[in-house]
């Protein structure tokens, strides 16, 4: 069994393409205000290529006690980017407890007590083009590298910031997970490097980034699956040897530049573990339900009334993940984005966190990635004291911090930390943004 996506487990093969008639509808931006269930904000499509009709979709959830258009409101803005590559940010908003409401099994909204919008304005962007509600009107608009996609995303942010400057007159943070281990360093690099230029298109006040269960450094992270699974008791010695054979092959593939083979061998290494362990969820090794249940969320996101509310053309079909993007980025998936992180650490704070029970991006793999960072202070970080992180009197995880880098292991959580541990995830976000430390 080969799993083809980093997220929920359903594979969608459709690309967000529109007809020529629909393209005419998209020649201008569609975004505007929305209001629903007592909450409000902005959402819609922002055109990136008027000829093809390609556009980015964003959804801004205004802080419950804030007004993002008021210059006196200085609440930070968090931008969430989902993984995949090719998975929609609406999954993070509604399945992972970030938005102020969620959709129940009767397709009705319910108040979310764990929302990040109590203290922050939160925006998600369907990135890259072709993801979620975002539209790739032509194949060449859908980039196939982290660098190309990050430049495209940066240009979108500049356009949005010039359109709504008060939104970006505040502290800015990016959060994401999974292939966000490429996306977040990619966009942060674009912002930091442009900010350092004499005349940046827009100077963003980027303060930090947080990346959960990050797929960042394939050459190192691909080598820990067998040892992790063996240490947790879900495979035996013989199975360990087979898995490590595929890990060795990934290294050989990467050394010869055979990206397709590297991707296939990497996928096989963790898929074998899933099978050996009796069909565990690759995103949570304690869960024997192989797929997460999205409930009525996808149906609600495709309602005509929902699309009308958030200014999405009726022709656009929302899908959780677009497998065409995953396939287009085969080479990039197995390329390391880790060299970008030391550059960021010179200017901003970086939080890396990992669910203890994640298999597909397991904690030892993330520790391996961190240990191999080409950062002058990495030995100081590795030798820093482990801090026991408590939330409401309970041990929530363990943290290490040195200089601008923090790493947190979140207990009783898999790949999607805000879904599995919403209270602790919110505490983690608050501590990081407010620079409170972990004790």
End-to-end CA distance of the chain: 42
Helix ranges, 20-62 (H):
20-25
CA distances from 30 to 66, 133, 273, 274 (A): 24, 12, 46, 43
Q: Mind listing the pLDDT tens digit for each residue in 252-302?
A: 999 999 999 999 999 999 999 999 999 999 999 999 988 888 999 999 999
Q: Which of 165, 163, 209 is nearest to 187 (CA)?
A: 209
Question: Are the C-beta atoms of 392 and 423 separated by less than 8 Å?
Answer: yes
Q: Mind listing the pLDDT tens digit for each residue in 323-333?
A: 999 999 999 99
For residues 238 and 289, which has the higher predicted lDDT (pLDDT)?
238
Give the pLDDT score at 22: 43
- DSSP-derived 3-state class of residue 41: strand
Average pLDDT over residues 166-172: 97
Is pLDDT above 80 for 59?
yes
């Amino acid at each position: 069994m080969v799993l083809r996506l980093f997220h929920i487990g359903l594979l969608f093969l459709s690309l967000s393409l529109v007809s020529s008639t629909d393209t005419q509808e998209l020649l201008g931006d569609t975004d505007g205000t929305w209001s629903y269930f007592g909450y409000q904000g902005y959402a819609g499509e922002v055109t990136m290529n008027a000829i093809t009709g390609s556009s980015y979709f964003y959804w801004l959830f205004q802080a419950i006690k804030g007004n993002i258009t008021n210059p006196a409101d200085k609440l930070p803005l968090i931008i969430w980017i989902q993984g995949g590559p090719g998975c929609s940010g609406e999954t993070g908003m509604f399945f992972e407890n970030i938005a102020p409401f969620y959709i129940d099994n009767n397709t009705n909204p319910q108040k979310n007590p764990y929302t990040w919008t109590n203290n922050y304005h939160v925006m998600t962007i369907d990135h890259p083009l072709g993801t979620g509600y975002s539209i790739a009107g032509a194949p060449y608009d859908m980039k196939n590298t982290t660098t190309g996609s990050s430049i495209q995303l940066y240009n979108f942010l500049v356009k949005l910031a010039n359109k709504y400057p008060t939104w970006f007159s505040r502290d800015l943070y990016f959060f994401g997970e999974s292939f966000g281990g490429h996306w977040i360093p990619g966009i942060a690099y674009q912002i930091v490097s442009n900010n350092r230029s004499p005349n940046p298109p827009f100077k963003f006040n980027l303060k930090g980034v947080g990346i959960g269960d990050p797929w960042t450094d394939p050459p190192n992270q691909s080598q820990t699956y067998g040892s992790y699974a063996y240490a947790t008791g879900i495979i035996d010695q013989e199975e360990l040897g087979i898995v490590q054979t595929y890990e060795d092959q990934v290294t050989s593939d990467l050394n010869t530049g055979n990206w397709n083979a590297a991707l296939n061998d990497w996928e096989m290494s963790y898929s074998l573990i899933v099978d050996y362990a009796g069909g565990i969820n690759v995103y949570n090794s304690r869960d024997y339900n192989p797929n997460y249940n999205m409930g009525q969320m996808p149906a609600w996101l495709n309602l005509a009334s929902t699309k009308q509310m958030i200014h999405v053309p009726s022709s656009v079909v929302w899908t959780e993940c677009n497998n065409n993007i995953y396939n287009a980025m085969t080479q990039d998936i197995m390329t390391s984005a880790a060299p970008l992180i030391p550059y960021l650490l010179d200017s901003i704070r970086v939080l890396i966190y990992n669910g203890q029970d994640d298999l597909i991006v397991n904690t030892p793999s993330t520790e391996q990635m961190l240990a191999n960072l080409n950062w002058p202070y990495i030995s100081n970080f590795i030798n820093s004291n482990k801090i026991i992180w408590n939330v409401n009197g309970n041990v929530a995880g363990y943290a290490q911090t040195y200089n601008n880098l923090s790493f947190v292991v979140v207990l009783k959580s898999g790949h999607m930390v805000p879904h599995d541990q919403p209270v602790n995830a919110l505490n983690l976000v608050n501590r990081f943004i407010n620079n409170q430390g972990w004790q």
